[in-house]
Chain A
Amino acid sequence: MRNRSILAVAEHAQGRVKPSGYEVIACALRLESFRQLRVLVVLIGDQPEAPAREIFQRTGLDVIAVQTPGLASYNGEAHRAILTDLIAELDPACLCAAHSSQGADFAPGLAARVGAACITAVERISVDSDCVIFARGASGGKLVAELAATTRLAVITVQPGAFSADVDRRYPQGSIEFRTVNFEPHRSRALGFKPGATCDKGLSEARVIVAAGRGIGKQENLSLVQDLAAAFPRSAIGGSRPVCDMGWLEYKSQIGLTGATVSPQLYIACGISGSAQHVAGIRDAGFVVAINSDPNAAIFNVADLCIVEDLTTFIPTFLAELHRASETPTSKENGR
């Protein structure tokens, strides 16, 4: 009997595979390593040839490139219809897609249509006595929920950054299959794109970023964050999404998945819970300090230094300490 397959739906744009595409492939290969399965990469779009060749050359995996003439951009209806047909044809054990604006959009509906389990934002995969376990964040990242599918097929979306996009070549015998599907969306029509808020240049250039979360409590407390930032040269102020949603900061200051990705030498998170969407923007930060009154806050798992304190009192205390230290030189400083 032929091995069942794992379909890895890879996103692409401008003829290139997106990094998330390789992360999805990496996740599929991880599943493959547990079971006698074979990975099949699926590309959908009006011009899938170049990305299909890119994947084939880089990985040697089997690729199915589904060309959808006239559908220049993502269409949820088309994705669900095409993947439903592929599932019916190939009977895969798992379908992996990115937990992106596309994957998160089509995967739940697809799963409902084909009667599959849907497990979103998967961060880790393990096997325990023949059961594949999908681990994913819950409660804003405070906890990890481990789920197992009870259906023949699992549709999963892969949390960005959870699997390394460094996929090496392993299968010299792969092939590319080109198909054309003419799909006319019936109930939705794409009208193009609109640019988002441009990221604050100050954020990308800052050496130090002090970021405010909902935990600052009220807009007036932003001044605390500003005072703290002022203690550092080349610093900037950033914020979590709710702080921007409430209009306390402009959207150009938002850090995270749907905001700016930053890489300062020092990131100080004030009253930020540490949701995956926020943390996605600070992975490359050098040193992360978190100030949060909740000892169990998820931000402490991604911080180098954890300070369990109320920021409204701790920031003034720290600034007073800074002031004191610069008034009364320490012995070390005396010796210079």
Chain B
Amino acid sequence: MKLLACVKPVVDLETMSGPHYLGSGASSGGTTCYRINHFDEFALEEGLRIKEAFPGTTLDVITVAPQSAGSALTRGLGMGADRAIHILLEQEGYVSPSVVARLIARRVEGSGYDLILAGVMSEDDMHAQVGPMIAELLSMPVATAVLHQTPIDEGRAVYVEREIEGGEREVLELLLPAVLTVQTGINRPRYPSLSKCLRAKKELPETIHAAAQPAIAPTETLLRVTEPRKLRAGLRLEGAAEEKAASLLAILREKALIPEARHAQP
């Protein structure tokens, strides 16, 4: 079988301080550090498991991202993907999921992929759209929030369990080629191997310049990014840790949420 995993680089929060817009290809001034979207690691891992179970299977990994965000591809190769495809964006900043899906669909069309895997959503934009849009653009069936899959019928179909409300699962069968968006918990993504990462750093990915392609008009614009509203009191405790601990205890006692000191109890 021929598999493809779609991965998105997201800004590595831990390397930054203060609130930033973390949408696709965030712009924060200075160098932005990217890492792979956690949700996509589950899609990659699922692809690798199919590859291991079905000899002769290949897994490619694709991303639509600016140059500085190529590390997501390295991660994919480091985990065990065969080939990397980088649809290169000229600059950082918000990119509509409809544009991302169209860029990927253009590259993938006619390439003979049996199964296209994606994470259930990205951590930054959280649109959860690219996977199901690719399916539509390529006239493939799709299942979202997949928690279990097995190729059946000699690779002609896939058995799928997808998560619905309350943790219940809907069971279905899709004819291949198909798209699955993978929910977390379906597997435990492996760590990349050092040797594979080193090799990945040497091999250049197949690169497609998005700017050299016919333009795709975005369907929406990002007007602005704001801070969320406070839905509760949000009182911040101040002082050293000991003072905060004392205040917390006092407040919990005042609200009778924690029993009074032992000796004081009747």
- Chain A residues with CB under 8 Å of chain B are 73-74, 76-77, 80, 100-102, 104-113, 115-121, 131, 133, 135-151, 154, 186-197, 208, 231-233, 241-242, 244-247, 251, 254, 257-259, 265-266, 287-289, 296, 298, 300-309, 313-314, 317-318, 320-322, 325-326, 329-330, 333, 336
Contact = CB atoms under 8 A, between A and B. Distances in A.
B166 to A, nearest CB: 6
8 contacts: A115-B219, A118-B133, A142-B228, A143-B226, A145-B225, A251-B185, A288-B232, A296-B19
Contact of A309 (B98, B101, B137, B241): B241
Nearest to B144: A105
Given A138-B225, A246-B188, A196 B132 contact: no
A300 B133 contact: no
Contacts of A139: 21-23, 123-124, 126
B27 interface: no
A192 B228 contact: no
A259 B168 CA distance: 10
Contacts of A333: 260-261, 263-264
A68 B229 CA distance: 41
Interface in B133-160: 133, 135-137, 140-145, 159
Given A112-B132, A119-B220, A131-B223, 17 more contacts: A76-B142, A108-B131, A118-B97, A133-B223, A137-B228, A143-B21, A144-B226, A145-B21, A146-B222, A147-B222, A150-B219, A187-B178, A245-B188, A300-B234, A305-B251, A314-B244, A333-B260
Contact of B144 (A80, A101, A208): A101
B228 A104 contact: no
Interface stretch (B81-89, B169-177, B196-204): B169-177
A304 B162 contact: no
B264 to A, nearest CB: 4
A302 to B, nearest CB: 5
Contacts of B263: 326, 329, 333
Contact of A232 (B23, B132, B248, B258): B258
B41 to A, nearest CB: 11
Contact of A301 (B22, B231, B252): B231
Given A148-B221, A305-B251, A321 B242 contact: yes
Given A145-B222, A304-B232, A188 B175 contact: yes
Interface residues of B, number: 87
A333 to B, nearest CB: 4
A140 B39 CA distance: 12
User: Which 7 pairs between the two chains have the least Cβ-Cβ distance?
Assistant: A196-B167, A109-B136, A117-B219, A187-B141, A326-B261, A101-B164, A108-B129
Query: Chain A interface mostly helix, strand, loop or mixed?
Result: mixed
Contact of B172 (A100, A189, A336): A189
Contacts of B130: 108
B232 A258 contact: no
A13 B181 CA distance: 25
A289 B167 contact: no
Given A137-B228, A143-B22, A317-B241, A105 B142 contact: yes
A105 B244 contact: no
A314 B142 contact: no
A193 B194 CA distance: 41
B163 interface: yes
Contact of B101 (A112, A313, A326): A112
B130 to A, nearest CB: 8
A33 to B, nearest CB: 20
Most chain A CB inside 10 Å of its own CB: which residue of B125, B127, B143, B163? B127
Contact of B234 (A143, A208, A303, A313): A303
Contact of A188 (B141, B185, B233): B141
Contacts of B141: 76-77, 187-188
A100 B178 CA distance: 21
Contact of A258 (B163, B178, B235, B262): B163
B18 interface: yes
Max chain A CB contacts within 10 Å: which of B98, B185, B245, B257? B245
Nearest to B176: A187
Nearest to B170: A193
Interface in B204-241: 217-237, 241
B229 A301 contact: yes
Contacts of A120: 126-129
B223 A118 contact: no
Contacts of A77: 141
B32 interface: no
B259 interface: yes
B53 interface: no
Contacts of B163: 101, 196, 258
B261 A144 contact: no
A187 B132 contact: no
A108 B188 CA distance: 28
A301 B129 contact: no
A301 B234 contact: yes
B237 A112 contact: no
Nearest to B26: A139
Nearest to B186: A245
A288 B249 CA distance: 14
